[in-house]
Amino acid sequence: MKTTLAAALLIAGLSSAIIVKEIDTTLVRETTVDSLGACQGASNQNGRIFLYGDREVGMIREFKWEKDSLVYINKEYKLTQNGQDVIGHPTGIAYNGSDKVFIGNSIRLNKEGTQWKAVIYQVNWPGLQKTGTLDGNLISTIDDDACIQGTRPEYVKYNNKWYVATADYGDKGNEVRLYDPEKLAHCSKTSEPGVLFKKITCTPWVQNLHWVANKGVLILIQNQIEGRKWRFTYIDFKKSVEAGSMQVIKQVDIDSRMDELEGFTFINDHKGIAVTSSRKNNVNITNTRW
């Protein structure tokens, strides 16, 4: 019996928890949200949207989605300890609702911005939300020395086990790395034995990662060139882990925006929030067709 192309694609998709078909992401609406500094990312946690940026100190603001808009609920968390900026340039929040919470940070080592240090912080997330600072809520500090350039933690699941994924921002040697969260929580640096589980080689300029659990898809939130232009790269996560290199389902470029795409999260299966470091039109509504 002859197998049609559509049936073959369907079978291939089901084998990796993905229905393989066209994916397209479009920009629906541009909005401006103040008091974020240069916004660095967005995290959707049980219907609450957390936008984080590097204002005068690293900070997080909490919003709710109401009538097709983000509404600030007057909750702000400063990533400081004893009044001093600790996570000054937050680059990712790894949260899955049941495990340890990690926040990434990139530290500028020279005024030219050509040398950076990547650090991952384990935090008491409920405590941070209660007190509004890292005082008493900073559990551990981890030097992400296994990275090539930068860190941006995000929880992903592979073979029914959670891992903390992170990626590089640079023009060569880029990787998505998977860390064992238990070992990550008890190490001082990511190069220690057993912390790194797998590597996936990927294309340059990854600003953030977003895990789509019900699709088995990891989205690489990228720039097309350094610091400019939007790119969403959808990869088959399981196949990518097993191949050791990104297995691309679809790459979507949005050429109408020339600024620096920094982060992304879905609100539901189709509607998403894309954030940039710009002062204007920094929080944008997207639609994804699967």
Q: Are residues 234 and 248 in contact, defined by beta-carbon separation less than 8 angstroms? A: yes
Q: Is the pLDDT of residue 222 over 90?
A: yes
Name 211's Cβ contacts closer than 8 Å, sequence gap at least 6: 154, 155, 156, 157, 165, 217, 218, 219, 237
Q: What percent of the chain has pLDDT over 70?
A: 92
Q: Please tell me the predicted confidence (pLDDT) of residue 225.
A: 96
**DSSP assignment of 93-136, as one string?**
EE--SSS-EEEEEEEE-STTS--EEEEEEEE-HHHHHHHSSSTT
Q: What are phi and psi of 191, to 5 degrees?
A: -80, -5
Q: Please tell me the predicted confidence (pLDDT) of residue 113.
A: 61
CATH number for the region 17-289 comes to 2.115.10
- CA–CA separation, 204 and 237 (whole Å): 17
Q: Is the pLDDT of residue 50 over 60?
A: yes
DSSP 8-state secondary structure symbol assigned to residue 277: S
Q: Are residues 113 and 159 in contact, defined by beta-carbon separation less than 8 angstroms? A: no
Name 192's Cβ contacts closer than 8 Å, sequence gap at least 6: 183
Region of 207 please: left (phi>0), alpha (psi -120 to 50) or beta.
alpha
Question: Element (H or E) spanning 44, and its range?
Answer: strand 39-45
pTM exceeds 0.85 for this model:
yes
Q: Which of 13-22, 111-120, 239-248 has the highest mean pLDDT?
A: 239-248
Domain boundaries, the chain: 17-289
Q: What is the pLDDT of residues 125-167, one digit of tens each?
A: 999 999 999 999 999 999 999 998 889 999 999 999 999 999 9
- Would you place residue 231 in the very low, low, confident or very high pLDDT band (cuts 50, 70, 90)? very high
Q: What is the pLDDT of residues 195-211, one digit of tens each?
A: 999 999 999 999 999 99
Q: Please tell me the predicted confidence (pLDDT) of residue 119.
A: 97
Q: Please tell me the predicted confidence (pLDDT) of residue 116.
A: 74
- Would you place residue 21 in the very low, low, confident or very high pLDDT band (cuts 50, 70, 90)? low
Residues in the chain: 290
